[in-house]
Chain A
Amino acid sequence: MPTTVEDKSNRLDMTRQGGRMIASYWDDLFTAREQGKQIVWYNGGALNPIFQAAGLAWCHGEAFAARLAAQRMEGPAQLAGAEYGYNAELCSYSRTHLGCAVLTVQGSQSGVVGMNDQAELAAKLPAPDFFVNNYAGCSTGQQWDGISYRVFGKELPLFNVSHPFLWGNQPDAGYLRGEEWESASRYVRDQLRDLITWLEERTGRPFDWDLLSESMTYIKRAAELRREGLELCKQKPAPATFWDWIACVAPINFLPGDQALVDYFQGVRDEIKGRIDAGVSGVRNERYRLYFDGIMNWNKLGFLSRKFAEYDAAVLCGRYIHNAFWQEPQLIDPDDPLMGMAQHYLLCPTNHGSKTLDYLTLRDCAEYDVDGIVFHSTRTCRAFTGPQRLLARSAQQTLGIPSAFFEGDVADASFYKDEILESRIVTMLEAIDVRRERAAI
């Protein structure tokens, strides 16, 4: 007889509003063609402020793949991709989005039987007028739009923003410092200027620099509020968890830079502050504080938030949240935003060597006083998983923090192994208990 597990998670109410904002955004995109807008498909860093200022409708490929996965609607797109020839071991973000591209190009003749209604959602992406790639770190990401370009018959314009990898060759290299950082920043900034010129050619109208400044003013403020909220989650017990911030990724990543975005993150920050004042925690009976490394397992957001809460574990921070998505708003000068934007794109969490990631991970683990790290060994994301075992070793050696790995994937639920997660969480929490008992002796 199945037993019902009590849901001890306590998600922020505000994220439901975010969900409505996101749904409205996608509905608007699906009618962009009817609105007479040109549509750009892009991947990688958040170029949406530039597209907004250029008067475009924008579609972030990864974001749509994540949305499909979160809604458990990724199947038809992935099937279409598989029919087209994409291997199941390929990055499932790209495979899902390219499957959407295939469905868009082929119409309803994909051969997928019995899924017409679901396929309609996946195929709803309006065809692009052009592509822009802005991928730092992952080489697959950089190649992705070049492949989309081929799926669409090599007929549409494509612009690539190239990002040097922040390897840390020189002795002065470090997080946000060093000649490597400075020269890469200038290089990417210059390419953003070229991108804007290119967009002017595509649109036939001058770029609205004032609107870019305005948009970035809102985004900077929203990012500051987000950081304030993240800081507040250092409280014990934590008023909100990593899963709440995951639900906030879409707004900060691609929604328009406007007052509504600021209001949203103001609401998030205020709800968190209110919880602290009222003594409300994100997990009932928080006993463990954890760091989550890896890209999000989008098919399992609600499930994972309940799973960890079941064991009284509050997941507080992680690379995907704390080291991404306009995470250093102080870099942005709204009056001259391109450099700050370029630097944020370079700060993609997959664009750092392990030295920098080690610094960021250990810093956050210490600041949030975590007891352990859970690594999402994302089957089809080699970019995120590459340094994970080094980070696990370093956390153990430097901070005495244990780690556990579980297998999953960013958008392909077939790679997720619940039993492995279950047994490894339990084991790690037991190890934490033993350490605490010994420390108390």
Chain B
Amino acid sequence: MNFPRELALAAGALPVVVQDDGRPVTEGRALLAEFYCGYTRNLVDQAVTGRLDGYDGLFLADHCISLVGAADVVRSVNPGTPVFFGMLMASMGDASAAQKVTEMMATLRTELQRFTATKINDEALRTAIRAHNRDRALLRSAFDARRSGDAALRPAQLQDLVTTSMVMDPDEHYPLLTEALAEARAVVRDDRVRVHLSGHLCHAPRRELLDLIEDSGALVVDDDLYHGRRHVSTDVAEQGDPIEALAGWYSRRNTAIPCPTRVQRDADWDVWLIDAVHTSGAEAVLHLLPKFCEPHMLYYPELRKGLDAAGIPHLLLETEHEGMPLESFRTRIEALVERARRRRPVLA
């Protein structure tokens, strides 16, 4: 999730954030336990059934034990495909953090050079940085517009825009994105209850769930999903040493939208979430917690505590990889909507 795609692009490779492809986990079940999150089980399933064969290499930077476990299985199943793990440190407040992250970014550059047999010079890297920044900024403008009151794009549509940016060359994605956003005429928010979607730190929520949320009386006005604002929150500095710039990006990402996979005393997801709710005018928060997502499970009580103290209604939905109980979710979302409506000021 935090792998610096700019490095791969600068090496002439196409950096693809491997997606949960949504297919049921079948043969992969034999190699990774059922109580791993759906995304990691799907990754393993993709590897076992040959659906990852189109990739020349797999690069990992994140230290979530479930991701590492899945990558280890992928490495074992596909011995001919390089799987490189350049772990970016998770304890962001350490005195050595900045230096270690910079060192790892340099290591990733070296490894990508070896992998692609291409030297990544600083100019190529700066070009890649600018390309990604441009695409990110345009995507971010769509999220900012939604937060400010423009309801033109439904959550599934915004998710599509982000997902496509994750799998495409940014220079190819940008003109298409420009065209898509130009076609979307501004729409004033209607009377539905405004909600913030929070969670899903690695893979996209199912489209049918996003549609269901908005069909249940809620209007999504902001989010911190990985396939949402979280992915586009932070740009890389375009001046100075590009490796240091990438290290700075990694650090600033966690203050832009704190991630529970990181330990940082002065970056509080709960505080950020409450601020985001106030900024967007959201009336409630929907936590989307993928079943077995350890980082989210570990941090969730702090979110609950903060939102309760702030008087913000919220609802936790544990999402599944297969067989989500959508009608049960509908009932619960409608109850949240009803609760939020009752809190609205009564006009004389």
Contact = CB atoms under 8 A, between A and B. Distances in A.
B261 interface: yes
Contact of B263 (A160, A165, A350, A354): A160
A390 B35 contact: no
Given A85-B305, A158-B265, A165-B85, A139 B64 contact: yes
Contacts of A354: 72-73, 75-76
Interface stretch (B129-137, B171-179, B214-222, B291-299): B291-299
Interface stretch (B25-33, B182-190, B333-341): B25-33
A387 interface: yes
The 6 closest A-B pairs by CB, nearest first: A386-B69, A85-B301, A160-B91, A146-B263, A167-B85, A90-B297
Interface string B259-298: 0110111000000000000000000000001011011011
A147 B87 contact: no
A318 interface: no
Interface centre among A94, A382, A385 (most CB of B within 10 A): A382
A36 B317 CA distance: 46
B329 interface: no
Interface in A153-174: 154, 158, 160, 162, 164-165, 167, 169
A143 B32 contact: no
Contacts of A154: 265
A285 interface: no
Contacts of B264: 146
Q: How large is the interface on B (under 10, 10 to 19, 20 to 34, 35 or more residues)?
A: 35 or more
A191 interface: yes
Interface centre among A162, A190, A387 (most CB of B within 10 A): A162
A345 interface: no
Q: How large is the interface on A (under 10, 10 to 19, 20 to 34, 35 or more residues)?
A: 35 or more
Nearest to A90: B297
A410 B90 CA distance: 25
A332 interface: no
Interface of B: 30-33, 35-36, 63-66, 68-70, 72-73, 75-76, 84-87, 89-91, 93-96, 100, 111, 260-261, 263-265, 289, 291-292, 294-295, 297-302, 304-305, 318
B301 A86 contact: yes
Contacts of A162: 89-91, 94, 96, 100
Interface centre among B64, B68, B291, B295 (most CB of A within 10 A): B68
B263 A194 contact: no
A387 B69 contact: yes
A377 B36 CA distance: 12
